[in-house]
Amino acid sequence: MKINLPDGSKLDVDNNPTVYSVAEGISKGLARDSVAGEVNGKPVDIYYELNDGDNVKIITSKDKKGLEILRHSTAHLMAHAVKRLFPEAKVTIGPVVEDGFYYDFDIEKPFTPEDLELIEKEMKKLSDAKIDIRRKEMEKDKAVKLFNEMGETYKSEIISEIEEENVSLYEQGDFIDLCRGPHLDNTSKIKHFKLLSVAGAYWRGDERNKMLQRIYGTAWFKKSELDEYLQRLEEAKKRDHRKLGKELELFSSFDEVGSGLICWLPKGSKVRLAIENFWREEHIKNDYEILYTPHIGKANLWQTSGHLDFYSENMYSPMDIEGQEYYIKPMNCPFHIMIYKTKTRSYRDLPLRWAELGTVYRYERSGVLHGLLRVRGFTQDDAHIICTDKQIESEISEVLDFSLNIWKDFGFSSVKGYIATKPEKSVGDEAMWQKATDSLTKAIVKSGIDYELDEGGGAFYGPKIDLKVKDAIGREWQMTTIQFDFNLPERFDMNYIDSDGKEKRPFMVHRALLGSLERFFGVLVEHYAGAFPFWIAPTQIKVLNISDDQLDYCKQLVKKLKGKGFRVEPDYRNEKIGYKIREAQLEKIPHMLIIGKEEVENNTVSVRLRDGKNKNNLDFNEYFDVIKYIDENKSVNLWR
């Protein structure tokens, strides 16, 4: 028999070969690292039997898919352990998620941290037992009967909704689970795992259904990878924006106001104002015009846009105003289009670059709300580019460069692009899709950043670029989106008069650089662990006197610095200077001016930086030049 390999070569194999034997035939190292395979594009188990002429790819522990298979197998191992320890528990679903997995269980008594320790120990016993994991297929009716007899009614419900006549199950010892697979072939290969937490979750995410117990965990092929991940988790806990937001008095939410609705406290508002001012200045420099639009709109606007047909589950109920239905806006786009249609547009008017810090409201279930990262009301740094087909390539290139420069200014140096192309179901003609996709590809290649192609991953109304940034501890965050839209220009009949005097449909691009101010601020807090760069810190400088003898001089300094536009706070309390310095450091103030007798006599300032370094007896003008430089250059350093 001959097997086709990914590089185009053919491999002669004995009769009844498996994915594993093919890997072994290539090299012992590949066989050792093999996890599963892809045969003719379909994922399969390592023991899958091959046919003559099959196209075979080996999935190894070094592949992303290999890691997902390990984690899915670990979720099954956890469910096996739970059933041994808590036979009354019913299993539901156990998918892979980013960096780990979870499994939901129906059990009356919630799991405790002590229970997680017991489950983990039982998992290690099952791993040490070296139990084979094997796939079997079964007719739907027989599978429903099997799971009903086991009391696993959730599995029966899932099977009844599957369209195929047969379903696949996986057995490991006395445990059997419904799953498409593939999986590892033996429990002994699941070695490095950790159960992390437990939370409540509604069955199928619907609060009308029963509350289940969700156990989260993680698994890795190497102990060093697990240890490194757990260390990152500990660091992430220290950087949690919800914890730091409270400690640094940046933002809050209140039951009396409503879940997912953020109140910005004075210090957080100062950071937001600095971000907004910078955002507006940069947009004006890049030839954008700033718009303002209402928070509500009549129902027929959202009917025309398609939101009532395709997005209504994310919108809030309408309000009645003089017999007309109005909806609070989930997006800004229809308002910008209405502004476009206020007059006839010529090709000479284009491109139009319109930006708005528009606050929108979207319904999110309470179970998914998460600090600033998932909210119900948020302010998008929204923009729309409306242009001709001849302008699209240069416009995309410019907006991508603009975005990368913005991320650089905020101190994010690792950025990766993801191009999502045309899905099976789409609107817009083929030529528009091709031109739009080509413009995205050329722009990202020209930028020089790493990128991946997501074939078929675009929205039905247009291709897009997503930019993900890495924070200080290596986590990747989805932020910027540059999204073509072939749908709304059709729905609203947008046109312009071209040079030939004929009406043509413009290209329209949705563009959010930061995503939303709330989510971006949460990421920013965690990236810097609350120690913001000087240029956006809520308090840039704190002036501390050693005794009352320096009060007049300190007040003059505060007045001068505020007059120059810096955010300054005095601390004139009758406390020891060491105490005042420690408090300022806990507040993560970038610069502390320590003013004593010598500074007053010499007309100087002594600066203590947040990192503990000191710059003593500086002439005020010399100090002013330094802070002006680091402020204007958006430096992440505390000193020039």
Active site residues: 333, 362, 380, 382, 384, 464, 510
Closest CA to 143 of 103, 171, 115: 171
Question: What distance in Å separates the CA atoms of residue 166 and residue 172, rounded to the nearest whole number?
Answer: 20
Q: Which helix (H) or strand (E) holds 409?
A: helix 392-409
Closest CA to 381 of 399, 408, 393: 399
Across the strands, what pairs with 101? 96, 217
Spatial neighbors of 468 by CB under 8 A, at least 6 apart, are 415, 416, 417, 418, 476, 477, 478, 479
Spatial neighbors of 80 by CB under 8 A, at least 6 apart, are 123, 126, 172, 173, 175
Closest CA to 535 of 621, 637, 609: 637
Closest CA to 314 of 357, 364, 360, 269: 364
Q: Give percent helix, percent strand, percent coil of the chain, each to the nearest 5.
A: 40, 30, 35
Q: Are strands 192-202 and 211-220 parallel, antiparallel or unpaired?
A: antiparallel
For 157, phi and psi rounded to 5 degrees? Answer: -65, -45
**Structure-token pair, residue 210:** 């029963």
Question: What distance in Å separates the CA atoms of residue 16 and residue 473, rounded to the nearest whole number?
Answer: 48
Question: What distance in Å separates the CA atoms of residue 520 and residue 458, rounded to the nearest whole number?
Answer: 23
- Cβ-based neighbour number of residue 322 at 10 Å: 5
Residues present in the chain in total: 640
What's the DSSP call for residue 493?
T
By the 8 A CB rule, do 410 and 469 touch?
no
Q: Are strands 496-497 and 503-504 parallel, antiparallel or unpaired?
A: antiparallel
Closest CA to 439 of 501, 394, 494, 375: 394
Distance (Å) of CA 139 to CA 144, 146, 165, 167, 565: 9, 11, 6, 6, 74
In angstroms and rounded to an integer, the radius of gyration of the C-alpha atoms of the chain is 30
For 561, phi and psi rounded to 5 degrees? Answer: -70, -40
**What type of residue sits at position 619?**
D
What's the DSSP call for residue 561?
H
Question: Which string of DSSP letters, residue by residue, matches 598-609?
Answer: HHHHHTEEEEEE
Three-class DSSP category at 453: strand
Distance (Å) of CA 222 to CA 33, 80, 283, 533: 12, 22, 47, 36
